[in-house]
Amino acid sequence: MTKYFKVVLLINPSRKYTQGILSGIARYSRFRGTWNFYRPLDYREKKAKTNLLQIMKDLKPDGILMREPPGMDKIIKMNIPAVTFPYSQETFPKISNAVVDHVAVGEMAARHFLDRGFSHFAYIGFEDWWWSLKRKEGFQKTLQQAGYEILTYSSTTKKKLKWSDELPQVADWIGSLPKPIAVMACNDDRGELVIEACKIANVPVPEEVSVMGVDNDQLVCDLCNPPLSSISLSLEKSGYEAAKLLDQLMSKKLESPHNIFIIPTHVSTRRSTDTLAIDDKDVAAALRFIKNNIKKNICVSDVVDNVALSRRVLEKRFRTLLNKSIHVEIKQNRIKLMEQMLYDNTMSIMEIAQELNFDDVTHFSRYFHKEKGLSPSKYRQKFCLFNSYHQD
């Protein structure tokens, strides 16, 4: 007889972050076909702590997937198989956790800005949230390794300020920064605040301030003016893996808690970072040519032909300003585009190969594997499990 599991969902689908996680959980449950979900919709209300514990006792669920509901400590003590997506602390002991690799998030933002030639960098986050400090750590560490320091926004008061009260403070901070500058915000809401503050400070985005958020909440990002670039996280994939982990715990295939990681996948580039901080007009022109023609199978000679410099001089300037060759710049841009197209899930691998002017899908796969260490199909399985093309 088929065993049906009763799974309690204590995750509020109010933002892109939790919506992505829930989408992954739903995918896994459809794959299993033997889960019944219970969603106590009032669990966050005033008396929810008592009500929720009573629901657990009455329902006797087989497993729980949760964020951080009221009375979480007592829920953990009930020893029901569970996976949590923590935010108030890095992990919870005696329970499985799905944890964002926040340091890697900051590292990705730093590399994105370095590739655009910036030499001034800043960070705005929340001083009392550990995950914001971790993102800053990754951002700062990567930039220090490249020989740069960062400037950090600090509120003038210990109180938590309303948007309207903090906006002029951030505007003053923006006005004091050297320009052009790349600003990483700890999340998309903070990124939106920076863009609005730039308007008050009369500082153009992205020409003088390039701004990046985190979470890639499309509604928030697209409503910004200019639209906000943001780092995407493997939310659906991680929701799927968390559900799979819970399944193993409920089925007794795993006896002890395990942690899984939610990783940054790519930068979704929008207008807020669509600029180059390069004083050398010839190098900037070469970079624009590479960016505008990256879908074509261009080579170094094509780039040289479009600037008024010899190959030797242009190569020397690339190495001085960007610490890389023209060939490496072309290859890095091409690989980034491949990754984004694979992650976006709207095209088959064959269609991507054709779009990028490869001779055939085998040549495309070899090129990608050489740079990333895994095939395009393996990349999709690892980072973006859910796509329309499970077989190419």
Closest CA to 194 of 232, 156, 160, 221: 221
Length of the chain: 392
Phi, psi angles (nearest 5°) of residue 228: -90, 125
213: helix, coil or strand? strand
Residues 6+ apart with CB under 8 A from 118: 180, 181, 182, 210, 277
> Are 228 and 239 contained in the same domain?
no
List, in order, residues 6 or more apart from 144 with CB less than 8 Å away: none
Residues 79, 123 within the same domain: no
pLDDT at 63: 95
Res 359 pLDDT > 60? yes
The mean of the pLDDT values for the chain is: 89
Query: Does residue 386 carry a pLDDT above 80?
Result: no
277 — pLDDT class (breaks 50, 70, 90): confident
pTM of the model: 0.81
> What pLDDT, on the 0 to 100 scale, is given for residue 69?
87
Residues 106 and 228 in one domain: yes
Instruction: Judge whether 389 lies within some domain.
Output: no
> What is the pLDDT averaged over residues 55-80?
90
Q: What is the mean pLDDT of residues 214-225?
A: 94
Calpha distance 242→25 (Å, rounded): 7
CATH number at residue 61: 3.40.50.2300
pLDDT at residue 390, rounded to an integer? 39
- How many other CB atoms are there within 10 angstroms of residue 227's CB atom? 18
Query: In percent, how much of the chain has pLDDT > 70?
Result: 93
Domain-terminating residue out of 254, 273, 292:
273
pLDDT in tens, 180-190: 999 999 999 99
The answer to whether position 286 is within a domain reads: yes
Taking only the tens place, the pLDDT of each residue in 306-319 is: 998 999 999 999 99
What is the pLDDT at residue 118?
A: 92
Same domain, 356 and 373: yes
For residue 112, the 8-state DSSP code is H
**Domain residues for 377?**
281-383
Helix 326-344 × helix 376-383 angle, to 10°:
60
Angstrom distance (rounded) from CA 199 to CA 203:
6
Give yes or no for a contact between 268 and 298, defined as CB atoms under 8 angstroms apart.
Answer: no
Structure-model confidence comparison of residues 104 and 389, the more confident one: 104
Rounded CA-CA distance 144/369 in Å is 30
Last residue of one domain, picked from the residues 252, 273, 294? 273
Residue 392 has pLDDT above 60, yes or no: no
Same domain, 106 and 223: yes
Could you give the CA distance from residue 250 to residue 245 in angstroms, rounded to a whole number?
9
Cα–Cα distance, 379 to 283 (Å, whole number): 32
Q: Is residue 390 a part of any domain in this protein?
A: no
Which one, of 306, 270, 272, lies nearest residue 288 by Cα? 306
What pLDDT score was predicted for residue 330? 94
In a domain, 194, yes or no: yes
- pLDDT over threshold 90, residue 47: no
pLDDT at 388 over 50: no
Q: Which residue has the tokens 């505007």?
A: 171
Kindly state whether residues 107 and 95 are assigned to the same domain. no
Lowest mean pLDDT across 67-71, 265-269, 378-382? 378-382
Residues 6+ apart with CB under 8 A from 269: 229
Highest mean pLDDT among 69-83, 95-109, 322-336: 95-109
Q: Looking at the structure, tell me whether residues 131 and 50 fall in a common domain.
A: no
CATH number assigned to the domain comprising residue 339 = 1.10.10.60
| pLDDT, tens only, 98-121 | 999 999 999 999 999 998 889 999
Residue 47 lies in a domain: yes
Predicted confidence at residue 391, as pLDDT, reads 38
Mean pLDDT of all residues in 285-302: 91
Same-domain pairing of 142 and 190: yes
With both helix axes pointing from N to C terminus, report the angle between 361-372 and 326-344 in degrees, rounded to the nearest 10: 110
At residue 368, φ and ψ (nearest 5 deg) are -65, -45
Residue recorded with tokens 């505008």? 292
Beta-carbon contacts of 198 under 8 Å, excluding residues fewer than 6 positions away, are: 171, 174, 204, 205, 209, 211
Same domain? For 124 and 83 the reply is no
Asked whether the predicted pLDDT for residue 45 surpasses 80, the reply is no
Helix (H) or strand (E) holding 262: strand 259-262
Domain count for the chain, please give it. Answer: 3
Q: What is the pLDDT averaged over residues 9-34?
A: 90
* Choice between 315 and 47, residue whose per-residue pLDDT is larger: 315
Asked if 96 and 111 sit in the same domain, the reply is: no
pLDDT at 387 over 50: no
Record the tokens describing residue 91, joined without a space. Answer: 């992990």
Domain contains 388: no
Q: Indicate if 257 and 288 belong to the same structural domain.
A: no
SS3 per residue for 229-263: EEEEECHHHHHHHHHHHHHHHHCCCCCCCCEEEEC
* Nearest of 262, 275, 276, 235 to residue 105 by alpha carbon: 262
pLDDT band at 41 (very low <50, low <70, confident <90, very high): low
Per-residue pLDDT band for 215 (boundaries 50, 70, 90) equals very high
Is residue 392 assigned to a domain?
Answer: no
pLDDT tens string 140-190: 999 999 999 999 998 766 567 788 889 999 999 999 999 999 999 999 999
**CA within 13 Å, CB half, 254:** 16
Q: For residues 87 and 113, state if they share a domain.
A: no
Asked whether residue 20 is domain-assigned, the answer is: yes
11, containing H or E segment: none
